[in-house]
Structures are given as structure tokens and as C-alpha cells.
Structure 1
Amino acid sequence: MTVQLTPDQEAIVREVVAEGLAPSAEAFVSMALANMRDELAFGLEERLGMTFDQINAALDRGLDGPAEPWEGAESFHARMLRKHRDRRRDNPSE
């Protein structure tokens, strides 16, 4: 794969290499991509409150087992009807 950097991006890479923070442009790009991957992974784990192993286990259970209906669908639908009916009653112009 070939990636075209903007002049500003090239300047950043040159500066990082010149300061000795990475031995080469290729090493810097590799480090930056690994850092981004780790940040994305951490963000997902943090948002879900689960580790990747737990996420994968839950996915495997879902794929291996029979699908279970979501019991909250009817309740959710009823709440939305009430909410919008109440809103229309309070604001007839909507």
C-alpha cells in the first residue's frame, strides 16, 4: 500500500525523526499506527466496560446459541407511543 502524506504530515514525520523520537519515517508510521490501534481498543473496552476477551466470549455465545427475543421491544414501543402522545397533547402544533 502506498500512502501520500500532506506537506504538513511530512513535516511532522521529519521533525519526529530529526528529534530522535523515531529511527525512521517507516518506524514512526508503524509506531503511530500501533498507538492508534491501542487507543481504539482501549476506548472500546472502556465504553463497553468489558475486556476484548469478554467481548469475544459474548460474541461467541451469541453466535453459537439460539437467538433470544428481546423482551423489552413491546415495552419500548409502548413507552415511545406514550411519550409522543403526551407531547402532542401538551403541544398540539407538533
Structure 2
Amino acid sequence: MPQRRLTVRTEVGLHARPAAQFVRAAAEHPGDVTVARGDGDPVPAKSILAVLALGVRHGDEITVTAEGERAEAVLDALAAIVEAD
């Protein structure tokens, strides 16, 4: 199962608009996608409430995991969202 550790560079972290973009991108993937803050427990990346509850801020490190055929593509899309300035 492909996994990436990413540093969140968006000014507001994964809050409001960036979180919504993140969840939309994850929802386009047919397989399971999870996200965890630091070494915490993973939550479903397709759930806006779960993603917001992580409280991810600018500079935090997250781990994103995806499974399925296009796992690398969804990880690329999610990385582009959180690593954008």
C-alpha cells in the first residue's frame, strides 16, 4: 500500500478550503485513502469531518496512504494540495 509523508505548506493547514479540496481529491479515488497527523491514528481522507478533526496546521507532517490501482496518482494529487504555498 503506497504511503507518503508530507509537510503541510498551505497557510491555514488542512482547514476550510484546503481540507475540502483534499477530501474531494481523495473521494475521486475508488480505493481507501487515509490520512494521519504525525504518528497518530489514520482517519478516512474522504471524510471532511475526520480531516478537520485532525487539526492539521501549517508546518505539520501528515502521512497519506492509498490503496488500489491509481494509488500513486491520488497521492500525487493530495501532495500537490497540501504542499502548495
- State TM-score, norm by structure 1: 0.22
Question: Which has the larger helix fraction?
Answer: 1
State the structure with more CA Rg. Answer: 1
- State TM-score, norm by structure 2: 0.24
Identify the structure with bigger relative contact order (alpha carbons < 8 Å, sequence gap 6+): 2
